[in-house]
Every structure is written in structure tokens, then in C-alpha cells.
Amino acid sequence: MKESVVIGELAWPEYARRIGVGQPVLIPIGALEQHGPHMSMNPDVLLPTAIGVGVAERIGALVAPAIAYGYKSQQKSGGGNHLCGTTSLDGHTLSSTVKDILKEFARHGARKVCLINGHFENSMFAVEGIDLALRELRWENVHDFQVVMLSYWDFVTDATIARIYPEGFPGWAVEHGGVLETSLMLHLHPHLVDMSCVPTHAAATFPPYDVFPTIREWTPASGCLSSAANATAEKGQLLFDVCVDGIVNALREAYDARSNGGKP
């Protein structure tokens, strides 16, 4: 069997050995969601998985199977959950999934876990799942289980933003199917992008409130919130590296902080 950081690709004795030596478990959490006419619907799973593998190879960690379905797309961050192709879970289902899985890794002996989020709307329901898992683990007398929760784009530095968006950064808010995700996909999975179909409309603008049911006209017909016309594989490489670097440092810092009374 090949060497791998991917849990699913290991036989259980090797997995047990690595957990036994304290390797962290990284869990990508994504979505099946439309990302415009130029890109496949799986970037929210593929990107945190690839970043997770990159991180795991650097720090000696394990990557769990991604949570492949996420919380409902919101209009101002993903176009809205009325769109065809977007396939989402109720919040409680997602929180329960996170809870159940975290407890299982704890049962195996894992004590350091990281959720790598690839879908904006997942965050709070993942946070709730973590809280519920930690609560039940306390009841199991497990008190040293630590979870880092992060979204990979939060590790893109200002310097990188300046290089990626020389024409000015529109904000993560409208980066759905935009330059960030498209560049990363061009770098990692170019056959899942067709730049000839990239929408070129202006970035979507929204009022400072949400309306339910969604007013569908507010979402561009493409499903993208901004144009990925300036996406390139080179930018993707740059983004990938800065995210992997940032998360590598973050995990070292976070897992140490715990043992050092909060001081990194």
C-alpha cells in the first residue's frame, strides 16, 4: 500500500500507530454547491482537502474524509440555496455530523483535531458541532481534546491579496466562484475549470440585510458573485502556498498554546 496521509487510504494498524504517536486529524468540511458556469461544483471539498493534505505532509498529520455536504448557501456569500446544483443539509444535521465524527476520532485516541472549512456558511454549525462534541467528551471524562476551527481563506495575507488583486480587493464576501477559488482550482484541478465560460459581470452588490425567501433577482444569473476572469494557475499556486504555510504555523501555535497556558 502506498504511503499516505489520507486516513481512508490507510489500513487500520497504521492508522492506529499514527494516532498513537499523537498525529493530529484534519477534517475538511465543504459543500456541493454551484460555483458558476466555468467551474465544477466541488471546490469547497477539493480545496480544503488539498490544503489539508499539504498541511498534513508538512506537520505529520492525518486527513479524514471530507464532510461533502454543507450548510445552506446564503445569497450574499454563495448566491442562495434556491440555485440548481447546490445541495445542502439542515443546520442540525451538519452539527450532528461534526459532533459524531469528532467523538469517534476522540475514541480512537486522537487529541488534536482541525476542521478545515471550505464553505463559508458551514462555520457556525461546525462550531456548534464542536461544542456539542466537547460537552459529550467531558461526560466521557475526556478533557484534553482540542479542536482548531479555521477557514482556509483567512490565511491569505494582505501581501498576497495585493498580488492577487492588483486592481483592488472586492472583499471575501463576493469571492464566490471568483478569483480565489478559480485560481486555486486552476492550480490543483485545471480540468474542472473552463475559463472560456467565466462570467465577466460586475461584482454583485447587496443591501445590509437579508430577505427570505431569497429575492432571486439579486443573485447574478451566473451564480457567481464576482468575475473570475483574472484567475490564473499561478495565483492559485501562490494562494495554496500561503494557506498551507499559514495553517502549518497556526496548528503548531495552537496546539502549543494549550500546553503553555495560552501563550504561543
Distances in whole angstroms, Cα of residue 200 to Cα of each of 42, 77, 134, 177: 21, 18, 45, 12
Is residue 140 within the footprint of its own copies (CB under 8 A)? yes
Pair 120, 30: CB distance under 8 Å: no
In DSSP notation, 158-189 reads HHHHHHH-TT----GGG-TTSHHHHHHHHHH-
Binding segment toward its own copies, per CB under 8 A, in 37-45, 51-59, 164-172, 226-234: 37-45
Q: What angle is formed at CA 220 by the lines to CA 177 and CA 79, rounded to 5 degrees?
A: 55
The residues in 195-234 that bind its own copies, with binding defined as CB under 8 A, are 197, 207-213, 215-218, 223
Rounded to the nearest 5°, which phi and psi values hold at 32? Answer: -105, 110
Q: State the residue for C-alpha cell 466562484.
A: 177
Is residue 258 within the footprint of its own copies (CB under 8 A)? yes
Is residue 42 within the footprint of its own copies (CB under 8 A)? yes
CB of 238 to its own copies, least distance (A): 17
Nearer to its own copies, 104 or 241 (CB): 104
Amino acid (1-letter code) at residue 171? G
Is residue 118 within the footprint of its own copies (CB under 8 A)? no
Catalytic residue among 9, 100, 143, 176: 176
* Member of 57, 59, 111, 146 binding its own copies (CB under 8 A): 146
Rounded to the nearest 5°, which phi and psi values hold at 34? Answer: -60, 140
Is residue 36 within the footprint of its own copies (CB under 8 A)? yes
Number of residues that bind its own copies (CB under 8 A): 100
Catalytic residue among 38, 175, 181, 187: 181
Active site residue 217: no
The residues in 170-199 that bind its own copies, with binding defined as CB under 8 A, are 191-194, 197
Give exposure, 177-203, as e/b (b: 16+ Cβ within 10 Å). bbbbbbbbbbbbbeebbeeeebbeeee
* Member of 21, 167, 200, 261 binding its own copies (CB under 8 A): 261
Is residue 158 within the footprint of its own copies (CB under 8 A)? no
Residues designated catalytic: 33, 35, 44, 119, 121, 176, 181
